[in-house]
Amino acid sequence: MDWLGLGGRKALVAGAGGIGGGVAAALAAAGAEVVVADVDEERLAAVGTKTLQADLTTADGSRECVARAAELLGGLDVFVHAVGVNDRRPVLDTPDEVWDDIVTLNLGSAFWTGKAAGAVMTAAGYGRIVYLSSVSGLLAHPHHAPYAATKGGVNQLARVMAREWAASGVTVNAVAPGYTETGLTRHHLGRPGVRDELTSLVPAGRLGTVDDLLGPILFLCSDRSAFVTGHVLYADGGRTLV
């Protein structure tokens, strides 16, 4: 994968879960030096790269995470934000504290870490930032209000950052998966009828996997995507066509 130009690049991945862990492994396999940050020690223990335990639910914690990663790596070329939680319930049944928690983690951490990474990258004249979004940022899924709102916000955040930092050699994009099979979705997919219902909505006839996302994400992290910025790439098996 030398054609991607990721050899020796210094990368921070926020989120050691299914997608984040897969991205970290793929970046390392492509020759990048990788640090993975997460609040969960068990998830970090399963990652085969350098790790940082970090709480991204505060601005200070997010800034400290990026600063520590840049210090460990000796710079920062690539930042992937793969952090997010969902809480499936109707709008009228969603408590204020659930809204606050999801907005803080999904969108607040995206802003705080992205701002910190962008400061390092614009000063250096090079950078690749990739956010994990979702088809929920475009489609009006019921019982997804806080999650969908934050993913729509991430899309627009990426576009504004892309506009502001393009002349500094920094690209900012998002990859929006459809429903993807990970450890975080296993419980929901195991509920009666859920897997079949979700699969029926995908023209490709199956749900996504982490491997389906790695190619698009690596491309957007690479030198090959130098003229691609402010883009939301839907890796969804055609879900957004329905």
Each residue's pLDDT tens digit, 109-166:
999 999 999 999 999 999 999 999 999 999 999 999 999 999 999 999 999 999 999 9
147 a catalytic residue: yes
pLDDT at residue number 27: 97
Q: How confident is the model at residue 17 (pLDDT cuts 50, 70, 90)?
A: confident
In 86-193 the beta strands, taken as DSSP E runs, fall at 127-132, 170-177, 180-181
Residue 223: is its pLDDT beyond 90? yes
Q: Over the stretch 153-212, which tens digit does the pLDDT of each residue have?
A: 999 999 999 999 999 999 999 999 998 888 767 777 888 988 999 999 999 999 999 999
Residue 1: is its pLDDT beyond 90? no
Q: How confident is the model at residue 95 (pLDDT cuts 50, 70, 90)?
A: very high
**Please, are residues 129 and 173 in contact by the beta-carbon 8 Å criterion?**
yes
Predicted TM-score (pTM) of this structure? 0.95
With pLDDT > 90 as the criterion, what percentage of the chain qualifies?
89
Q: Which of 126, 131, 147, 234 is catalytic?
A: 147
| Share in percent of the chain as helix, strand, coil (round to 5) | 50, 15, 35
pLDDT at residue number 149: 98
Full set of structural domains in the chain with CATH: 2-234 (3.40.50.720)
Helix or strand or coil: residue 220? Answer: helix
Residue 96: is its pLDDT beyond 90? yes
Residue 65: is its pLDDT beyond 60? yes
Nearest-5° Cα angle at 150, 174 to 89: 130
